[in-house]
Structure 1
Amino acid sequence: MGIKLFKRSATAILAIALLIPSAAVLAKEESGGTQSYSATRQSAAKKAALLTEDYGVTSVQYALFDNGRIAVSGQAGINDEQGIIPLNNNTVYGIGSVAKVYAAAAVMRLVDEGKLKLDEPVVSYLPAFTMKDSRYKQITPRMLLNHSSGLNGSTLTNSILYRDNDTYAHDHFLEDLAQQELKADPGAYSVYSNDSFTLAELLVEEVSGMSFTEFIQHAFFEPLALSRTYTASEELNEEAAAALYSPMREGQMPLGIDNAIGSGGIYSTAEELALFGGLFAGYGQGLLSDTAVTQMAQEEYKRGLWPEQGSDMFNYGLGWDSVHLAPFGDYGIKALTKGGDTLFYHAQLIVLPEQGMTAAVLSSGGSSIFNSVFASDLLLQALKERGDIQHLPSPKSFGEPIAAAPPQKQLDYAGVYGNFQTVYQIGITPEGKLLLSNALQPGTGAAEYVFTESGDYISQDGTTKVRFVEETNDRVYLWISQYISLPGLGQTVATYYDAEKLDKNEISSETAEKWAERDGKIYYILNEKFTSALYFANMATTVQLMEDVPGYNASQKITGPNSSKNDIQIPGLNGRDHMPYQFYQDNGTEYLKVQSFLFIHEDGIKSIYGGQKSKATILEDGLARWFAIPEAAAGKRLTVSRPAQSSFAVYDASGICVFFSQVDEDRAIELPPNGKVVFVGEPGTVFQLSLK
């Protein structure tokens, strides 16, 4: 669990850059950079200002790479709370899941070197990889990179930490996988998987004999002179990073470090991300072969189950979210893209391989969708200015729906549909009106769609089209295509299987009774490190039963008195992160195991002592200690004396974190009525408590 810090020598990087000029530098010398892009610069500055003024973005940084050079770059917004550190092109942002492109490139580099084959089993190279499910032996490197491995999704225990690059998530990953089963046959369909890229990270380390950080430094960062690009295992000066803010509290947040490097733990600038993207746009010769670049841009999503679509936000390549990003297909232009979202950082990289162009947009606050639309507009403006296209895209719509009577077959599609995070109740009237509501929150209203002669349902505003699809796996899916318009920024389109129809799940009366006792109960996280951002976010989970859908815990199928698991098989995003539930009792208290996370039942939490002096001690198991705030303690001010390697947090009755010692300066905290307090540290850590 040690912290590994690797400082790169600026002198060494400069020497390498002088000996091996980057392709971007070479191309710049050849091209002379003749295009000024004045109109594109003006447009980008306006869009950046709009994001920070109207879309809740704290800061945004952008860059356009064209003809071997950074042609346009800029930034907008605020940085540190004191206003001392200005934003500039060297300000560093977390790029989140855009790191997956780096991981894919690293694997392809090993393929180029003849050390790895895409379609050989991973276990051939990484024999320590094992799972409870024997199908894991079929997983190949290709399946890791195109999200079709069948891994459950996100094994991220102790991975998102404040000012802490502990390697726990990396060091225990194979141990955690060994306790899991697959959610689908390897290669059956592509569904977003963080774990696939963490496994790819370990694969690169095993085959190369280097740490993942060392390998990508050697393979890409140093030859391209990316001196402002870091991984989570390196020492990043927090003052060099874009300031973070949360809507849940006032003031600046500490730097959150994503320690799952291959799936999300890289930090960079927009200019350097755009330069890295140049590898896939004809630059960086010798770093990746043309064959490798071409393979990464293939339609990998078509290898398995996938919804019918055109150019879109999601259609996977190797590492790429999309290899046919809209609206570029309307111009006959191939576009690759990858987005990333962490708790507060957001990123988007778009590459136009045939045009030799890339765009990168990074932000603190906001969303990768905002960044994607901005980056698309940046490229479209540049394409127009250099004469490659004649006009910018106009907003699209499916048009106002003209109602038609649905056949009986359509009425049969009514029922309950689920995805990895929610459940829908769908009703269809004989007149052809589809009503879609949240089955987990009854009474919150329903979205309405109108059946049309095309066989699709369309929203009244024409932005969304819905249909039902009976797939080759005998499952029924809710298919959605949606135009997403961001006023002043632009438009994108997303087409996907949103949910799958849930079949009946008969359970015994004994099992039903056991689950009924848990309905609505809250379970609190126990085994995250004291620096974990999940305490600020209050990672709690709740059992949610539905009267109209017996046999299910939300979208999970109940499999026994103490277990449930997702049975859905949805390609794309909405079938991601299967998290089976397993309950057990210990000394009269119920615990919940969810993959590598451990939770405690709310009824097992004791009340904090309401007297003036007390203490809380972390027991030998090292688990967090949770306490309820009784009436006798509510309204009193809590002061805590604690060791440096520990933390505590206070929550109100609704579960909102009102104080976390890793985020806030230690002070006396007024305890909210019916709230909770948690203490976190190593075994034997003692917290001295004073209530006044």
Structure 2
Amino acid sequence: MSPLIKKVVALIALLTLLFGGAWMFAPQTRAAAPVSSTPERGAADLNDATALSAFIDDIMKTHMDSFTIPGAVISIVKDGKPLFAKGYGHSDIAVSKPVDPETSLFRIASTTKLFTWTAVMQLVEQGKIDLDADVNTYLKTLTIPQTYPQPITMRHLMTHTAGFEEGGVGYQITTDSQKLPGSISDTLAKHMLKRVRPPGEMAAYSNYGASLAGLIVEEVSGLSYNDYVQTHIFDTLGMKYATVHEPVPARLQPFAVTGYSWENGRFATKPATYEGGFRPAGSGTVSALDMARFMIAHLQNGQYGSNRILKPETARLMHSPAFQFDPRLPGMDLGFYELNMNGQRVISHGGADPLFITELYLVPEQQIGLFVSYSGGDGGAASEGLSKAFFDRYFPVREGSVPPVSAELEKDVEKYAGSYQFTRRNHSHIDKFFSMMSQFNIKASGNRLSLGSGAEQQLYAPIGPNLFQEVGGAHQIGFRTDSSGKVTHMALDFLSYMPLERTPLLDRSQFWYALLGISGILFLSALSALVVCRRRIKTMPKPQKRAIVLSAVASGWALATCVATVVIVLGMDTMERLSGIPLSLHLYLVMPLVLVGLTIVLIGLCILGWVRRYWTLPGRVHYTLVALSAAGTSLFFYHWNLLGWHFG
């Protein structure tokens, strides 16, 4: 795995844990390797069942040991038929129950969105939904604010370009089945997210947008979301071990796979997580062989056996690019996101919650589908390794060299360097704080872009205007510039649904780390001065003495508040953070407010010290620096929505 992918996987994992859970008509040309209808010479024969089974067994068993995975399942389809399906490990360790690809129900998290998008397209082909109409046309129980002149449409929801911020802290999931099922309408109204950019402008993966689409399915069809998906998708395809109900219905409960975490050298059972009112974004629980039926239906343009879930023209529309950051890079289809894997055009979707990781890959031109799901451990690394090994074996490609470019392009490399942050982030609530840890830094190294350092450094060379390719590899990075030529956005070819934008100074983690580091040194100096100079301080007039004591108190409180931020805010368990606001967080949020009060008094005493000439000149300068440090630290808490109770 390249350093770039390692870093992005880590950042995506952070965003996934924070927020829970994760597109033009005709395909457009790309700079990536062309799709080949036949494998390169040296490709293994996918129809060799014995070799395929041995190959998958070796990978899965190795990954389960390496990534401490308790249970996994995989299904592969080709030419309208299941080609391979197998379970690994246990669905319930306590009773040594093995994973069964036919019946074991894995929670597929955001892969559920494919059911939602399929339901939407069924209503589109029936003429009940217009992809380009204002979604408020279909909503009966809530109204999306008209923040911008352009309305949000279903096309925007399906391509994640509606322009919503992301949210989730305190309400994204629940482990309390008594809170279910939860009204989609009430949930979306209660946790209405702010519109932060005009629709259609830029992709930003959105659970809220997918849930809104599910609500529209309810209000247009007259059926509940659960019943609609069951009747018009699962029943039609004969998917007997599939549900979007939460909790899993009683008849399917014996087949539900238990989720685990690795703790103290053993697998620990964890409570099931539920999406509640956000279920169109991630409530699915499905077996591998039932997902095989769903994959075959999409690969065959809506048909499975004698049944059909979509008309051919509707399926082709759904599988075609509907939004592209750059026409030379993979884009977003209507619900699926595109990948280029060894020259093959792949349409895909994955899902992750705190306990399960799932990936689904379809190769329409080859009539191949692959589904894999893991019940714990590092499933993200496992799925990435599996997909790479699969495509390297069955669709190998020769490493290509970077094509020569003009000196003019190489001269402009410096302008692309800098800090970038994901468009998928929060602006209005406490959630914003967590995005500070998910930024991406790119450096210019000669006439190349550099990612990582030392042995893991990865270089990207310019191959066209605003387009770079991995040196010695195939991955590409695209950029967008404004009318003046200034770089505004960046996109990775394997992450079409979540581009990045330039990080302004006040959002840069390096800026705040530096400011807090310098402030911390000054706070410690104020505390040490109180101890080292205590005899001299005792002889000072009371106003001066009180000012110094307050400086030490404010410094100590600022340090304590920063430590509490790490221990309490960053130390919250993922499920705890997403399922509710703990009392400790409510109490912690008093600390930044107290700091602001101390800072105001400190600044007042600082001004008084200069007016009345307290202490020596160096003493007054030091006091001023401490006061400014307190002000800067207070600004940190204000900027990252930690000043007050900003819950979504």
Q: 1:338 to 1:266 in 2, by over 3 A?
A: same
Q: 1:357 to 1:380 in 2, by over 3 A?
A: farther
Query: Contact 1:36–1:71 at 8 Å: present in 2 too?
Result: no
- Which digits, 9 at most, give the CA deviation of each residue in 1:440-466, with x for residues without a partner? xxxx99974558685888878768766
Query: Contact 1:479–1:495 at 8 Å: present in 2 too?
Result: no
Of 177, 180, 183, 1:166 maps to 180
Rounded to whole Å, the distance in 1 between the matches of 2:308 and 2:129 is: 18
Q: 1:473 to 1:411 in 2, by over 3 A?
A: closer
Please report how far the alpha carbon of residue 342 of structure 1 lies from its aligned counterpart in structure 2 after TM superposition. Answer: 1.3
Rounded to whole Å, the distance in 2 between the matches of 1:345 and 1:400 is: 41
1:117 aligns with 2:120: no
Rounded to whole Å, the distance in 2 between the matches of 1:157 and 1:407 is: 47
Q: 1:480 to 1:220 in 2, by over 3 A?
A: closer
Rounded to whole Å, the distance in 1 between the matches of 2:441 and 2:111 is: 34
Alignment match, 2:334:
318
Please report how far the alpha carbon of residue 166 of structure 1 lies from its aligned counterpart in structure 2 after TM superposition. Answer: 2.0
Give runs of aligned pairs for residues 577-588 of structure 1, distance below 5 A.
582=641
Of 162, 171, 177, 1:149 maps to 162
Structure 1: tracts of 5 or more residues without a match: 1-33, 382-390, 438-443, 483-492, 507-511, 544-557, 565-580, 584-589, 597-692
Please report how far the alpha carbon of residue 172 of structure 1 lies from its aligned counterpart in structure 2 after TM superposition. Answer: 3.1
Of 295, 305, 311, 1:277 maps to 295
Please report how far the alpha carbon of residue 468 of structure 1 lies from its aligned counterpart in structure 2 after TM superposition. Answer: 5.9
Query: Contact 2:491–2:500 at 8 Å: present in 1 too?
Result: no
Alignment match, 2:539:
none
Alignment match, 1:63:
75
Alignment match, 1:214:
227
Give runs of aligned pairs for residues 444-459 of structure 1, distance below 5 A.
448=457
Please report how far the alpha carbon of residue 352 of structure 1 lies from its aligned counterpart in structure 2 after TM superposition. Answer: 3.1
1:88 aligns with 2:100: yes
1:342 aligns with 2:356: no
Q: 1:213 to 1:299 in 2, by over 3 A?
A: same
Alignment match, 1:42:
54
Normalising by structure 1, what TM-score?
Answer: 0.59
Please report how far the alpha carbon of residue 413 of structure 1 lies from its aligned counterpart in structure 2 after TM superposition. Answer: 4.8
Rounded to whole Å, the distance in 1 between the matches of 2:321 and 2:47 is: 33
Q: 1:362 to 1:238 in 2, by over 3 A?
A: same
Of 114, 117, 139, 1:101 maps to 114
Code of the aligned partner of 2:190:
D
RCO comparison, higher one (Cα < 8 Å, 6+): 2
1:264 aligns with 2:269: no
Query: Contact 2:340–2:346 at 8 Å: present in 1 too?
Result: yes
Please report how far the alpha carbon of residue 188 of structure 1 lies from its aligned counterpart in structure 2 after TM superposition. Answer: 1.2
Alignment match, 2:431:
none
Q: 1:530 to 1:232 in 2, by over 3 A?
A: farther
Alignment match, 2:524:
none
Q: RMSD in angstroms over aligned alpha carbons?
A: 4.6
Give runs of aligned pairs for residues 595-606 of structure 1, distance below 5 A.
596=648
Rounded to whole Å, the distance in 1 between the matches of 2:119 and 2:158 is: 11
Give runs of aligned pairs for residues 530-569 of structure 1, distance below 5 A.
534=578, 564=639
Alignment match, 2:311:
289
Query: Contact 2:400–2:474 at 8 Å: present in 1 too?
Result: yes
1:367 aligns with 2:379: yes
Query: Contact 1:300–1:318 at 8 Å: present in 2 too?
Result: yes
Rounded to whole Å, the distance in 1 between the matches of 2:351 and 2:254 is: 22
1:193 aligns with 2:194: no
Rounded to whole Å, the distance in 2 between the matches of 1:204 and 1:475 is: 41
1:522 aligns with 2:523: no
Normalising by structure 2, what TM-score?
Answer: 0.63
Rounded to whole Å, the distance in 1 between the matches of 2:143 and 2:484 is: 27
Query: Contact 1:361–1:372 at 8 Å: present in 2 too?
Result: no
Rounded to whole Å, the distance in 2 between the matches of 1:140 and 1:480 is: 23
Of 234, 240, 246, 2:261 maps to 246
Percent identity between matched residues is: 18
Please report how far the alpha carbon of residue 341 of structure 1 lies from its aligned counterpart in structure 2 after TM superposition. Answer: 1.1
Rounded to whole Å, the distance in 2 between the matches of 1:471 and 1:530 is: 38
- Which digits, 9 at most, give the CA deviation of each residue in 1:14-42, with x for residues without a partner? xxxxxxxxxxxxxxxxxxxx977332222
Please report how far the alpha carbon of residue 354 of structure 1 lies from its aligned counterpart in structure 2 after TM superposition. Answer: 4.4
Query: Contact 2:175–2:579 at 8 Å: present in 1 too?
Result: no
Query: Contact 1:475–1:501 at 8 Å: present in 2 too?
Result: no
Q: 1:156 to 1:113 in 2, by over 3 A?
A: farther
Rounded to whole Å, the distance in 2 between the matches of 1:339 and 1:318 is: 15
Q: 1:242 to 1:476 in 2, by over 3 A?
A: same
Rounded to whole Å, the distance in 2 between the matches of 1:98 and 1:209 is: 24
Please report how far the alpha carbon of residue 307 of structure 1 lies from its aligned counterpart in structure 2 after TM superposition. Answer: 4.0
Query: Contact 1:428–1:435 at 8 Å: present in 2 too?
Result: yes
Please report how far the alpha carbon of residue 346 of structure 1 lies from its aligned counterpart in structure 2 after TM superposition. Answer: 1.3
Code of the aligned partner of 2:297:
L
Give runs of aligned pairs for residues 329-408 of structure 1, distance below 5 A.
329=344, 334-365=345-376, 366-368=378-380, 370-371=382-383, 374=386, 392-394=395-397, 396=399
Of 215, 219, 222, 1:202 maps to 215
Alignment match, 1:630:
none
SS of the residue aligned with 1:75?
Answer: strand
SS of the residue aligned with 1:418?
Answer: strand
- Which digits, 9 at most, give the CA deviation of each residue in 1:77-105, with x for residues without a partner? 23423343222121110111111110001
Q: 1:72 to 1:122 in 2, by over 3 A?
A: same
Rounded to whole Å, the distance in 2 between the matches of 1:405 and 1:52 is: 49
Q: 1:498 to 1:355 in 2, by over 3 A?
A: closer
- Which digits, 9 at most, give the CA deviation of each residue in 1:386-420, with x for residues without a partner? xxxxx641474767999x99976444555444334
Query: Contact 1:162–1:533 at 8 Å: present in 2 too?
Result: no
Query: Contact 2:203–2:498 at 8 Å: present in 1 too?
Result: no
SS of the residue aligned with 2:93?
Answer: coil
Please report how far the alpha carbon of residue 363 of structure 1 lies from its aligned counterpart in structure 2 after TM superposition. Answer: 1.3
Query: Contact 2:342–2:391 at 8 Å: present in 1 too?
Result: no
Query: Contact 2:169–2:578 at 8 Å: present in 1 too?
Result: no
- Which digits, 9 at most, give the CA deviation of each residue in 1:343-362, with x for residues without a partner? 12111222233444422111
Rounded to whole Å, the distance in 2 between the matches of 1:494 and 1:529 is: 27
Rounded to whole Å, the distance in 2 between the matches of 1:55 and 1:280 is: 31
SS of the residue aligned with 1:161?
Answer: coil
Alignment match, 2:32:
none
Rounded to whole Å, the distance in 2 between the matches of 1:135 and 1:560 is: 30
Q: 1:533 to 1:185 in 2, by over 3 A?
A: closer
Please report how far the alpha carbon of residue 226 of structure 1 lies from its aligned counterpart in structure 2 after TM superposition. Answer: 1.0
Query: Contact 2:477–2:491 at 8 Å: present in 1 too?
Result: yes
Query: Contact 1:435–1:447 at 8 Å: present in 2 too?
Result: no
Rounded to whole Å, the distance in 2 between the matches of 1:472 and 1:158 is: 40
Alignment match, 1:15:
none
Bigger radius of gyration: 2
Q: 1:380 to 1:352 in 2, by over 3 A?
A: farther
SS of the residue aligned with 2:236?
Answer: coil
Query: Contact 2:351–2:357 at 8 Å: present in 1 too?
Result: yes
Q: 1:204 to 1:351 in 2, by over 3 A?
A: same
SS of the residue aligned with 1:223?
Answer: helix
Alignment match, 1:593:
646
Query: Contact 2:204–2:498 at 8 Å: present in 1 too?
Result: no
Please report how far the alpha carbon of residue 425 of structure 1 lies from its aligned counterpart in structure 2 after TM superposition. Answer: 5.4
SS of the residue aligned with 2:274?
Answer: strand
